Copies of this chain bind each other. A is one copy, B any other.
Amino acid sequence: MIVESSIRKTREMIGRWRRQGDRVGLVPTMGFYHAGHCALMDKARELADRVVVSLFVNPTQFGPSEDFTVYPRDLDGDCDKARARGVDLLFCPEVDAIYGPEDQTIVEVGPLSQGLCGAGRPGHFRGVTTVVTKLFNILDPDYAVFGEKDFQQLAVVKRLVADLHLPVQIVGHPTVREEDGLAMSSRNVYLSEDERRAALVLYRALLTVQQEAQRAGFEIPAAELREIGRKMIAAEPLCSVEYFTIIEEVSLQERDRVDSGCRVIGAMQVGSRVRLIDNLALMTLS
């Protein structure tokens, strides 16, 4: 596996691969790999001849009061894990290389970026779509694989690619979970033992809503399902709900009833430092 920080050398290498007809699969990451990241790398391997992983903790997608400086980092461990998945190239540029001194260009997806996590994290998705556009332009992938845990991000990036006619296919991958169901996240390391136990309520709430919807043959108002989930989270003293709702998975619009392509999606605060998100399909897109 090649570990490269230079944009120029990375472009040259990928250019050579592409000229010899190799298809390139990209997994954009912020590092601190867990089994979720490894599953995305495996998926990229399945789709493409060359697997490129970008490792870049992108400052512009963190708010001023968020955890950019303390976001967990472990380059050596990440290299070992990526190498073990058969990754061909780990691209880990410096911040100054991605954002030059005169940088002043932003890429923004409108309405899709504004609700859900976008409401609680203003500017977050602008940071994501700007850096993803830069990475796609540098790395020129045929495929880019994103986890469904960050479901709004996946929807926003799909919209970005369609709108800007970016020549890449976005592939979503199901959320990888701990044995007890907690969605894997680099931020789970922030959790104390008590918080880790409490954190599971989000998945349990999603699962309960999914089961209740199925039990009712989907003939149950979304408002009722929302209440079930919100009450479960509210009952957990260490957790407070940020949002918990039923959406349609392409438009991310809230729905009154459960129909094709509906998901239940939530975000909550655990203790004073950790914010977790998760989601589950209620009815697959027909």
Contact = CB atoms under 8 A, between A and B. Distances in A.
A167 B108 CA distance: 20
B104 A105 contact: no
A163 interface: yes
A220 B13 CA distance: 52
A111 B98 CA distance: 19
Interface string A157-170: 00110111111000
Contacts of A109: 104-105
Contacts of A162: 100, 102
Contacts of A112: 104
A138 interface: yes
Interface stretch (A71-79, A129-137, A180-188, A264-272): A129-137
A202 to B, nearest CB: 29
Nearest to A21: B19
A163 B100 contact: yes
A95 interface: no
A129 B108 contact: no
Contacts of A138: 165
A98 B160 CA distance: 13
A13 to B, nearest CB: 14
A102 to B, nearest CB: 7
Contacts of A164: 105, 107, 133-134, 137
Interface string A89-132: 00000000011101111111111100000000000000001000
Nearest to A160: B105
Given A7-B165, A164-B134, A165-B137, A105 B107 contact: yes
A177 interface: no
A22 to B, nearest CB: 13
A140 interface: yes
A11 interface: yes
A165 B135 CA distance: 8
Interface of A: 7, 11, 98-100, 102-112, 129, 133-134, 137-138, 140, 159-160, 162-167
